[in-house]
Structure 1
């Protein structure tokens, strides 16, 4: 019983472990230098503005959290200029009002943070450090609304200015506006922009990634999945092995009976070495039955395939006389994805598969291809 309880607790306990950061050393160094520079520029200019002998606070501690967002997560919606400037300033104003009108700092701090979150949601400037600023203002008992202008507003403006310059110089788009880049082509995608909007509405939570970045990331993931599932598949993996075949001299009635018995629509025609010389299909038999001139299809087909027994005959007697001689084949080692245009654009329905010696080893039909594509893209594949 104890063992079972421990097993059931493992997933819960594992959820407290930090996830692996999928960020390279160069990006970490870039964020480290950027955060330091941003705070340094903001501090030096704010201190100069306040004056060397000023006792007024000229730098707020929650700005360190803003620096993390601006320089380490410049693509985050929470790190954009309006959330930094608007979120910090509005939260400071709310904190000041609570410090003035609510005597108990515990109640004042709780109400300030709650109203700051609500205001940032309403003004579309959600910025986590804003909550820290609202609480900081209450605990510091800042009761002058001037405090929201200096140092909060000035600090935020300087941080954004440093972020724009540094991120641009180091190859990061900032501000990172929505739909600033052209979305990936979705002609073959399994989801559209509208589908993503529906999913986000159902998710109904704040995501620390912009919508256009999320869409691009999902398209890249989908492309990687296609390449993983389809890129490695070869014709030999999906073909029907030991396919039925006939030879040039096989009588038409034998070939037709074989196709009807096995419910297939094509038979490769091979020579004695199993090399392909043609292919005979249902369409080839239909042409011989001259259906345009007759109304009884069954009778016409029986007459077309019936043996005459004569040495010479006016109508075709063997497969070689009606087969299609130009046959598109594919090597067993070729990638399956190369078959898609042959079926979808060139009108093929059956592709014989040959080995390195050009001998028939299999056949792939449209059904085989569709089945392989479905297996490759179905959920859980």
Structure 2
């Protein structure tokens, strides 16, 4: 083979990671066993009807066992995508006499509906075609085709994929990367790339991108540059604060506040009044001290947060410079700083973790 022909072949090949022999073997074995099990169970469930028309499941097995981390391989995509395609395919087969026209509409409409429901699954296009061109056996089933073999085989193959991928150490399905404590991004996410940064980079490209590794790296670099510009120490408090604020009310019972501390595993909380204005702060140590004094005679009314909270609170403004906060966290060992508006209504919280993440991001920028 000449050097020129070899270069042309390299151009045609995708920029795709080649997995180890072990991973390739496991992917093939998983697909083999998964298809065999789902086909045999379906064969018995359908009273011995030939299961040749479950061919789209072969394409699904490529995703489930070879690229299980792909969004297109997740259980929602396979089950919902296949069901949508089966319903559309059966409907087109029943109501449109021209077969070419019928399966063309079936595939096109299935793609539109799958994209609308965020359930895009490429093998579902073959499900739609199978529903139209599957012959008398499929046509006699009518809409039962949606339930079996499509839904039946989808559920069986997904169930085995869950078991097999977990057994060999792969995480499937892919968990959502969210902040378990609140609806805000985690501190690290807030100082690196966020969805709006990706959107900013995408807006700079007018063409439709079928993402390759090079395209993705270029987008990430652009998004990172945008994030670095926003999240330097010259940035504003509003850029890194958490808007989903965990707080307690001034009139809450102290025991309720203790439950909040245990539930959220944090050391202090802001205290708000009925108007959602910041009126104080309560630390876990204050609650501990309150318990220590339980043996002493105290007023019966002293069981609410407002009786033991600290009313002097350091507050910052959303437009304030991030660098201004460093002394509070370094010198005074603050756990958090509340961000408030002009009316003292709380807008967000900046925690020590947020500041550590910002400082870490700035160290990375200086070292690059």
Q: TM-score, normalised by structure 2?
A: 0.49
Q: TM-score, normalised by structure 1?
A: 0.48
Q: Which has the larger radius of gyration?
A: 1
